[in-house]
Amino acid sequence: MPNDWNDVRYNLDVSSNFTEIYNSPYYTDAVYDKFSEAEYQRRYSLAREKMKREGVDALLLTGGSNNWSYGAGVNWTSGLLDKRGISQYVVLPLEGEPTLIYGHSDIHMEATRRVVSIKDVRGSRGGKFGTVIADRLEELGLQDGRIGVLPVDRNGPEYMGWMCYQQIIERLPELELVLLPDLLNELMLIKGEEEIQAITKSGELMVKSLKALVEAAKPGVTEYQLEAAATHALMDGGGRVHFMIIGSSSMHDPKMIFPNPHPSQRALTEGDFILTEMTGGYKGYTAKIGQPITVGQPTQEFDRFYKEIVVKGYRRIEEQIAPGKTIEDIRKAGSYFREKGEQSRPILAHGLDLITAPPYISLDRIRGASPEDEIRPGMTFSIEITPIKADGTFGMFLSRSYVVTEDGHIDITPYPMDELVVVPV
């Protein structure tokens, strides 16, 4: 049971005292850049409007640390992005205060209380998340209520741990759980002012990250050392890595059309090219950047392909990121590559909430939106194109991130792209 630190401070070597302490002085001098209380209340009000529409009494929000989650609903409701467990959980009732159920205990939980916006933070009692969730629902009088469950992982999607689910339904057999796979993205489709500030900061950090990678690149440096340089710049600015996809190959004998999801021990040599897809976050909101780089001067064909195919095709798509344009306008703009006798990976652009999000816009399909849906101010996008030679032998990845404004868009990753980045040797 929870123990006030003042009552047990002289007996902290007793497990039952230490496991669930609260009200301690620990970490009270830690400093975190958080969203304001007003911003969280805006989010809770928005979520409660959707609860009424869906006919649910509370939301069970989930969030883990994998790339398809990045904290998900737990991040959005509390500011927590944590690696302890498959998922953490937040209970957000239609009426009443939210509760965070956290995987670890003792001082870890006290540290988490300093990070998050939610006042009611409870331990999982050794992984018994479902039991603690059931406790909170009973306190709210919702033991036979209708609870909306948001996904922890959009790849599938997946919703919660099996044991957590079992504990809930065994304890509350009359409870109705309703899966709401698209609600979180809907809640973040149009960003609030503080969300835009956070994603803009992420964009600034990703530019710094790319600059650090370029500065580190030289013959003899490995792909994972490039990843280390980019990661350091991001974290040094207060950011957090989402993923670093970095690869290299020879312009004279290319073995790559897209950066490597697993940066290797391959060392750079003169005549190589580097491809990057890097995403990092600030306060839980990510931005993406990707830029081809050459080690030494590019070959004539490499330079031509970049300027005539990659950049010009990119600019055609970029023109569609504006209010009044449609998702279909973006898709149609991708026809440029075939018009020029080349090809590309199917994906052209996608939305951003905390991470990569609907709509997913590809050459041959649109997912998570209707083609006629209009682009609106406050939406955020990443363009990510991978033009490929007609014979499939090599390609290049190029990406930037945007906030849609009333009169167009802002590139929040403003790194020059009209010329290839050349590392002198």
Final residue belonging to a domain, choices 155, 187, 219: 187
Given this model, what pLDDT does residue 2 score? 85
35 pLDDT exceeds 90? yes
Q: In sequence order, what are the beta bridge partners of 99?
A: 91, 120
**Rounded-to-integer distance, Cα 304 and Cα 300, Å:** 6
**Rounded-to-integer distance, Cα 395 and Cα 259, Å:** 10
- Coil, strand or helix at 398: strand
Assign residue 136 the CATH number of its domain. 3.40.350.10
Q: Do residue 219 and residue 146 come from a single domain?
A: no
Prediction pTM value: 0.95
Residue 298's domain comprises 193-423
178 pLDDT exceeds 90? yes
186 pLDDT exceeds 80? yes
80 pLDDT exceeds 90? yes
Given this model, what pLDDT does residue 263 score? 98
Average pLDDT over residues 321-349: 98
Q: Do residue 59 and residue 206 come from a single domain?
A: no
Tell me the residue length of the chain. Answer: 425
The DSSP result for 258-286, as a single string, is S--SS--SPBP-TTEEEEEEEEEEETTEE
133 pLDDT exceeds 90? yes
Given this model, what pLDDT does residue 156 score? 81
Q: What percent of the chain has pLDDT over 70?
A: 100
The gap between the terminal CA atoms of the chain, to the nearest Å, is 64
Average pLDDT over residues 250-254: 98
Q: Do residue 67 and residue 136 come from a single domain?
A: yes
- Coil, strand or helix at 47: helix
> Which residues in 63-100 are b (16+ Cβ under 10 Å) and which e?
bbbbebbbbbbbbbbbbbbbeebbbbbbbbbeeeebbb
120 pLDDT exceeds 90? yes
Nearest CA to 414 out of 233, 204, 214, 237 is that of 204
Nearest CA to 324 out of 406, 201, 394 is that of 406
Dihedral pair phi/psi, residue 404, rounded to 5°: -80, 130
1 pLDDT exceeds 80? no
Q: Do residue 206 and residue 124 come from a single domain?
A: no
Q: Do residue 220 and residue 306 come from a single domain?
A: yes
Q: Do residue 166 and residue 272 come from a single domain?
A: no
**Rounded-to-integer distance, Cα 298 and Cα 356, Å:** 31
Binned at pLDDT 50, 70 and 90, residue 66 comes out as confident
Final residue belonging to a domain, choices 152, 187, 222: 187
pLDDT tens digits for range 349-406: 999 999 999 999 999 999 999 999 999 999 999 999 999 999 999 999 999 999 999 9
Amino acid at the residue 258: F
CA atoms within 13 A on the CB side of 410: 15
Domains of the chain: total:
2
Q: Could you tell me the two tokens for 43?
A: 């989010």
Binned at pLDDT 50, 70 and 90, residue 208 comes out as very high
50 pLDDT exceeds 90? yes
Final residue belonging to a domain, choices 153, 187, 221: 187
Place of tokens 């590559």: 337
Q: Do residue 32 and residue 119 come from a single domain?
A: yes
Given this model, what pLDDT does residue 155 score? 82
Nearest CA to 7 out of 23, 29, 26 is that of 23
pLDDT tens digits for range 272-330: 999 999 999 999 999 999 999 999 999 999 999 999 999 999 999 999 999 999 999 99
Pinpoint the alpha helices (H) of 305-411.
312-318, 327-333, 336-339
Q: Do residue 155 and residue 212 come from a single domain?
A: no
Q: Is the dihedral of CA 327, 328, 333, 338 positive or negative?
A: positive
Q: Do residue 222 and residue 174 come from a single domain?
A: no
Q: Do residue 310 and residue 202 come from a single domain?
A: yes
Q: Do residue 208 and residue 65 come from a single domain?
A: no
Assign residue 411 the CATH number of its domain. 3.90.230.10
Across 369-415, the runs of DSSP E, i.e. the strands, are: 380-385, 387-388, 398-405, 408-411
83 pLDDT exceeds 90? no
Q: Do residue 181 and residue 198 come from a single domain?
A: no
